[in-house]
Copies of this chain bind each other. A is one copy, B any other.
Amino acid sequence: MIILSRSEIEALIDLDSGLSALEAAYIAASDGRAVMPPVGYLAFADKDGDCHIKYGHIAGDPTFVVKIAAGFYGNPAIGLPTSNGVMLAFSAQTGVLEAILLDEGFLTDLRTGLGGAIATRALCRPDARRVAIVGAGIQARWQVRCLQQAMPETQLSFSVWARSEDKARETVSVLHSEGIDVTVSTDLERLCRDAEIIITTTPSREPLIRDVWIQPGTHITAIGADAPGKQELETALVVRADRRICDSLEQSLDHGEFSTAFRAREISAENCIELGAVLAGKGAGRVRPGEITIADLTGVAVQDIAIANSVLNADRRFRTV
């Protein structure tokens, strides 16, 4: 059995392999080749904490993966990170535990970033350059890094807005030091009006992005809404969009960015399509340059399966060198 620490995992990770693995996993999920039972959930109300258990198997994969991810939102006050987590890989032939990835939530952050990049690349206009990043947390950074990696031929320029300007400055400073073309924005409306790509990464419970700000041809990837009550985009914008794409129809319509419009019967499931179907060429993503496209990503177990296998494959290659 293999046990890898967070730093070992960080050293093994290769974003390009991760992008390929996740793309294949989204396609497998939409093809019906992935088994992803309902997510397990435990709440710790007195500690403002919770735990999600995501698990599943892609037909033909030699392993199945169980991910346990905890989020305790009072942790920063006592000097601990909010997120914790571990991924376990078992043989799908024998049930033997093959690997423990002590990633402390790193792989969840990363696979969320990679998922966003895959959706954004697949759906933005080919000539899109100006990327608005809304929010300045860990996930904002990963969305930027992964999109930059996913579109190496494109001269993307990023601008980051956050409620806390200090936090936006800090994130911009970190990304800038990594060689990324990125600035701070202090005006969310102007940022959105100017953007060709908007990526939202906040835990907002009320819409931040107004419908009237969004120009034809814009692509939006919405990452934040992953639980009931969360919403980053004005409902009118979700309704107005020409194309609505999500990683999981079931989740997006239940508790993702599309759920408010869906419950109000302003959109139906037939007006949405899964990312895997778009990637497989079985459904339409962006058809015309002037369309507004929205990708809502709530997070699916195939991402965890794919990223865990990507790490394990890298580890195997490393060991056999």
Contact = CB atoms under 8 A, between A and B. Distances in A.
Nearest to A66: B68
B100 A51 contact: no
A262 interface: no
A47 interface: yes
Contact of A75 (B40, B71, B90, B95): B95
Contacts of A78: 94
B41 A37 contact: yes
B3 A90 contact: no
A115 interface: no
Interface in A49-104: 49, 51, 53, 55-57, 64, 66, 68, 70-72, 75, 78, 80, 83-86, 88, 90, 92-97, 100, 102, 104
* Residue picked from A35, A43, A70, A83, most chain B C-beta under 10 Å: A70
A279 B80 CA distance: 40
Nearest to A96: B84
Nearest to A68: B66
A95 to B, nearest CB: 3
Interface in A8-52: 35, 37, 40-44, 47, 49, 51
A2 interface: no
A264 interface: no
A95 B51 contact: yes
Interface string A260-284: 0000000000000000000000000
Given A56-B42, A86-B88, A102 B94 contact: no
Interface residues of A, number: 40
- Per assembly, the copies of the chain total 2
A135 B200 CA distance: 59
Contacts of A97: 68, 84-86, 102, 104
B53 A42 contact: no
B37 A40 contact: yes
A321 interface: no
Contacts of A66: 51, 53, 68
A93 B47 contact: yes
Contact of A92 (B47, B85, B92, B102): B47
Contact of A35 (B37, B42, B75, B93): B42
Residue among A41, A94, A97 having the largest count of chain B Cβ atoms under 10 Å:
A94
Given A44-B95, A66-B68, A83-B95, 5 more contacts: A44-B64, A47-B92, A47-B93, A49-B92, A53-B66
9 contacts: A1-B102, A35-B42, A40-B55, A44-B92, A66-B68, A70-B90, A84-B95, A86-B100, A97-B104
Interface of A: 1, 3, 35, 37, 40-44, 47, 49, 51, 53, 55-57, 64, 66, 68, 70-72, 75, 78, 80, 83-86, 88, 90, 92-97, 100, 102, 104
